[in-house]
Amino acid sequence: MSNPLLGFIPEPLALPFDKLLPSRKLPVGLETSQKYLQIKASIEAIGLIEPLNIGALDKATGMHVLRDGHIRVHAMKELGFLDAPCLVALDDESYTYNNRVNRLSTIQEHLMIRRAVERGVTPERIARDLKVDVSHINKKLNLLEGICAEAAGLLKDQRFSPNLGAVIRKMKPTRQIECVELMVAANNVTTAYANALLAATPAEMLVAERKPRKLSGISAEQMAKMEKEMGNLQGQYKSIEHTYGQDVLNLVLAKGYLKNLLDNQAVFRFLSMRQPDVLREFSSLVEVDALDK
């Protein structure tokens, strides 16, 4: 196999801002947004971390098109910078680079903050540089305290509120894993859903073995019903998890068989004349590409 071609020149170039041609307008009200203030504070404190993405040199004008990094450029200009490191693209991509960026997960942010604190950076300074309250940094710093390794592993690629950790750690490890599996499967990793799962958790599966405060607007009968339904849901989830691979394989085989069957003109003509309802169902099955359809 041949080596893949690089999309950028590996070594960044330091280019003055007057050699960069913007490719889009900045949004209205940018300078007062929380995101912009955090970017500006970060650059002021530790400098630019991610180089700008630019196009190849236009020999006629001597300019480079700025493909990604407009907000960083604006912040650096305000801070008095005259140039910035840039990665020059070797191909002409038309997509927006931000759409291809994998954002940091919440646990990755936790690990970065913890590493910074271990190296002597105080939570107060991190909060000041990022323009957030220090309590928010402390929540991220202590995110995984009381959470078992298996549950943390299930959350490693997710983005969620730091308040989620305070809810999950009230449960015992086995229950933590069950609840996180349900949240990830439902694509609903939120504090509100975690609180609902906590309320439906039997007392013996809680750390203090004491039921949490009742949710407002929910009666004892409704709480008992929710606990029962949650138990049924967990059982169904486990059952589906064990058979999902085989079900997908059966779906693929059935689709292939029905497609070959409908490609036969004689069969297609017979079904359309004698069994139009069956033909309609077969055609809809051939178009299915996921089990939830």
Find, among 50, 85, 48, 52, the residue nearest to 67 by Cα.
52
How confident is the model at residue 172, as a pLDDT?
92
Q: Cα 76 to the chain's mean position, in Å?
A: 28
- What residues have CB less than 8 Å from 103, skipping those under 6 apart? 159
| pLDDT bucket at 3, cuts 50 / 70 / 90 | low
What is the side-by-side strand order in the sheet with 13-16?
13-16, 83-88, 52-54, 64-68, 20-22
Q: Cα 158 to the chain's mean position, in Å?
A: 5
3-state SS, residue 170? coil
How confident is the model at residue 109, as a pLDDT?
84
Enter the DSSP assignment of 85.
E
How confident is the model at residue 91, as a pLDDT?
64
Q: Is the pLDDT of residue 67 over 90?
A: no
Percent of the chain at pLDDT exceeding 70: 80
Q: How many Cα atoms sit within 13 Å of 150 on the Cβ side? A: 10
Instruction: Tell me the pLDDT tens digit for each residue of 118-141.
Output: 888 888 888 887 778 889 889 999
Q: How many Cα atoms sit within 13 Å of 250 on the Cβ side? A: 6
Q: Is the pLDDT of residue 173 over 90?
A: yes
Range ranked top by mean pLDDT from 34-38, 230-234, 269-273: 269-273
How confident is the model at residue 164, as a pLDDT?
92
How confident is the model at residue 13, as a pLDDT?
86
How confident is the model at residue 125, as a pLDDT?
84
Question: How do 52-54 and 13-16 pair as beta strands?
Answer: unpaired
Structure-model confidence comparison of residues 78 and 227, the more confident one: 78
Structure-model confidence comparison of residues 247 and 104, the more confident one: 247
Q: Is the pLDDT of residue 212 over 70?
A: no
Structure-model confidence comparison of residues 242 and 205, the more confident one: 205
Name residue 88's beta-bridge partners.
Answer: 54
Decide if 144 contacts 165 (C-beta within 8 A). yes
